[in-house]
Amino acid sequence: MAAARSKKYARPVFIVDGSRTPFLKARGKPGPFKHAELGINAARPVLQRMPFSPEDFDEVIMGSTMPGPDEANIARLVALRLGCGDKVPAYTVHRNCASGMQALDSAAMSVASGRSDLVLAGGIEAMSRAPLLLHDKMVGWLAKWWGSKTFSAKMKTLSSFSPAMMTPVIALLKGLTDPVVGMNMGQTAEQIAYRFNITREMMDQFAVDSHLRLHQGHENGELSEIEPIYDSKGNLYDFDDGVRSDSTIEKLGKLRPAFDKPYGQVTPGNSAQITDGAAAMVIASEAAVKKFDLPVLARIVQTEWSALSPSEMGLGPAHSIAPLLKSQKLKLDDIDYWEINEAFAAQVLAVVAALKDKDYCKSHLGSRSAFGEIPHEKLNIHGGGVSLGHPVGASGARIVLHMAKILQQRDAKRGIASLCIGGGQGGAMLIERESN
């Protein structure tokens, strides 16, 4: 094994393998799989490939932002249902859109510190199953109703009822609105598009590319980490079903802005889809790799987290990539492939623009010169959130897993996976693969 070059991880951390479910577009009703089922389906195939038993894990860490009401600490639930046995501890992490990457970083920290040798980590989200909540007024009214003992008290309570109280609170929309700056995520994308002069055409072109690249990737079998899943009726799901192989700039051009109505540019077509999915990876120490003679897909070199104004959360990746490159003394060109989560086409384009903008690099990223331009052909080569969706807790794990697979497929050395995080943060992870 190569000696650790990471300054951040005290011991080397390896990605052994991983698999994920297809990402399934939400169709306006609860999807066919609950959070736990997605997590189990994501992890079972990779566990079948491993020479060790699920009971050999030291811990299980999952990222998830809104598991079902009966799925508290989803990581433990998944661990138990995967057959890890009673004795494997598990916890769930929440860093909004980066929860899946946070799970990997937590696993990496645990391995690097020597606490664990073998960790199952990943992310899970069934966004179609985000709950509808009762309005506070309705809850208050119900409390009053249950407290009304006599007939006359009941009548009195009844008279204070208004049907408007029954309007449900949509948890998903609440989750996608920043409570501090009062903007929804789409509006933050509009904000940075404005700042970097990203046009509607640029966004739509990026979205079309995303779909066509994903379609091509499916066709070429380059998304081998996807494992088929079956619902209770036996229906088979074996690819990311939000993909539109017939996407064109003309079609996307017809869509109306969804957030800054009516003059905005961010539309459902150039934003990430609402999607269900999960990914799971095996993270190991050098000792575990030796003990079980495990294959190594890549090494996690370093992870950087950064924060910025919630109103510009989409630029988070730039704020994490910059210190990551600096700390590793790498130039932008040293990176072979990039995965930047597509929360919004505008937002990814703004990140690319920021990193090549000398002024922005100087004033915000602490660099005397610009980092340069991430080449389009090295960025999200098999699509991203716009085409395959962004199940919030799962995406961070998906992009790292896919980056590891790309490095393997193309016999490349370095890749960075990065995403923006609602609430004004960014995360970036550098992984490296030993050349064959």
Partner 1 sequence: MNESIVDWITETDDQGVLWLTLDQQGTDTNVLSSSVLDQLNLLVDGIVKDIPKAVVICSGKTSGFIAGADVKEFLAVTNKQEAMIMIKRGQNVFSRIESLPCPTVAMIEGFCMGGGTELALACDYRVGLDSSSTKIGLPEVKLGIHPAFGGLVRSTSKINPMHSLEIMLSGRALAMKQAKAMGFVDLVQPKRQIRRAAQQIAFSKPERQSLPMLGKLLSLPGVRNLLSAYMKKQVAKKAAKQHYPAPYAILDVWCQYYGNKKRIMEEEANSVARLIQGDTVRNLIRVFFLQTQLKGLGDKKYFAPKHVHVIGAGVMGGDIAAWCALRGFTVTLQDREPKFLSKAMARAHKLYARRIKVLHERNAALDRLIPDCKGYGVEKADVVIEAIYENSEAKHEIYRDIEPRMKPDAVLATNTSSIPLEELAKALQEPERLVGIHFFNPVAMMPLVEIVKAKQSSRQMIDRAVAFTLHIGKLPLPVKSSPGFLVNRILMPYLVEAVFLHDEGIAPEAIDKAAVDFGMPMGPVELADTVGIDICHSVAKNLSAAYDISVPAGLEKYVDAKKLGKKTGSGFYQYKNGKAVKNRDADLGDQKMIQNRLIFRLLNEAAACLDEKIVDEVDLLDAGIIFGTGFAPFRGGPLNYSQQKGSETITGTMQEYGSQFGERFNPVKGWRLLKSE
Q: Please, what is the minimum distance in Å from the beta carbon of residue 37 to partner 1?
A: 8
Residue 234 CB, nearest distance to partner 1 (Å)? 3
SS (H, E, C) the chain: CCCCCCCCCCCCEEEEEEEECCCEECCCCCCCCCHHHHHHHHHHHHHHHCCCCHHHCCEEEEECCCCCCCCCCHHHHHHHHCCCCCCCCEEEECECECHHHHHHHHHHHHHHHCCCCEEEEEEEEEHHHCCEECCHHHHHHHHHHHHCCCHHHHHHHHHCCCHHHHCCEEHHHHHCECCCCCCEHHHHHHHHHHHCCCCHHHHHHHHHHHHHHHHHHHHCCCCCCECCEECCCCCEECCCCCCCCCCCHHHHHCCCCCCCCCCCCCCHHHECCCEEEEEEEEEECHHHHHHHCCCCCEEEEEEEEEECCHHHHHHHHHHHHHHHHHHCCCCHHHCCEEEECCCEHHHHHHHHHHHHCHHHHHHHCCCCCCCCCCCHHHECECECHHHHCCCHHHHHHHHHHHHHHHHHHCCCCEEEEEEEECCCEEEEEEEECCCC
Does position 85 interact with partner 1 (CB under 8 A)? The reply is: no
Please, which residue, 209 or 227, has the CB nearer to partner 1?
227
49 binding partner 1? (CB under 8 A): yes
Q: How far is the CB of 287 from partner 1 (least distance, A)?
A: 23
Scanning 42-50, 254-262, 317-325, 392-400 for contacts with partner 1 by CB under 8 A, the matching segment is 42-50
Query: Any contact of residue 409 with partner 1 (CB under 8 A)?
Result: no
The answer to whether 40 contacts partner 1 (rule: CB under 8 A) is yes
Half-sphere exposure of 121 toward its Cβ, with a 13 Å CA cutoff?
31
48 binds partner 1 (CB under 8 A): yes
* Among the listed residues 163, 179, 234, 262, the single contact to partner 1 using CB under 8 A: 234
Q: Give catalytic residues, as residue numbers.
A: 97, 390, 420
Residues 194-233 interacting with partner 1 (rule: CB under 8 A): 228-230, 232-233
Closest distance of CB 87 from partner 1, Å: 17
82: contact with partner 1 by CB under 8 A:
yes
In the chain the first and final C-alpha atoms are separated, in Å, by 13
| Identified binder of partner 1 from the candidate list 235, 369, 435, 436, rule CB under 8 A | 235
Residue indicated by tokens 């497929």: 409
Nearer to partner 1, 228 or 372 (CB): 228
Q: Which stretch binds partner 1 (CB under 8 A): 38-46, 131-139, 248-256, 307-315?
A: 38-46
Q: At closest approach, how far in Å is the CB of 227 from partner 1? A: 8
Of the candidate spans 75-83, 203-211, 276-284, 389-397, the one that interacts with partner 1 by CB under 8 A turns out to be 75-83
Given the complex with partner 1, which of 49 and 290 has the nearer CB atom? 49
Binding region for partner 1 (CB under 8 A) out of 91-99, 189-197, 235-243, 335-343? 235-243
- Compute the least distance from the CB of residue 255 to partner 1, in Å: 33
Judged by beta carbon, residue 80 or residue 142, the one nearer partner 1 is 80
Pick one of 1, 27, 72, 83: the residue that binds partner 1 (CB under 8 A): 83
266 within 8 A of 186, measured Cβ to Cβ: yes
Burial class (CB in 10 A: 0-12, 13-18, 19+), 195: middle
Of residues 45 and 186, the one with the C-beta less far from partner 1:
45
Number of residues that bind partner 1 (CB under 8 A): 18
Q: Does 282 bind partner 1 (CB under 8 A)?
A: no
Q: Specify the residue, 53 or 197, whose C-beta has the smaller distance to partner 1.
A: 53
Query: In the complex, what is the shortest distance from the CB of residue 127 to partner 1, in angstroms, rounded to a whole number?
Result: 22
Judged by CB, which is closer to partner 1: 141, or 237?
A: 237
Q: How far apart are CA 217 and CA 215, in angstroms?
A: 5
Residues contributing to the site for partner 1 (CB under 8 A): 40, 44-45, 48-49, 51, 81-83, 228-230, 232-236, 238
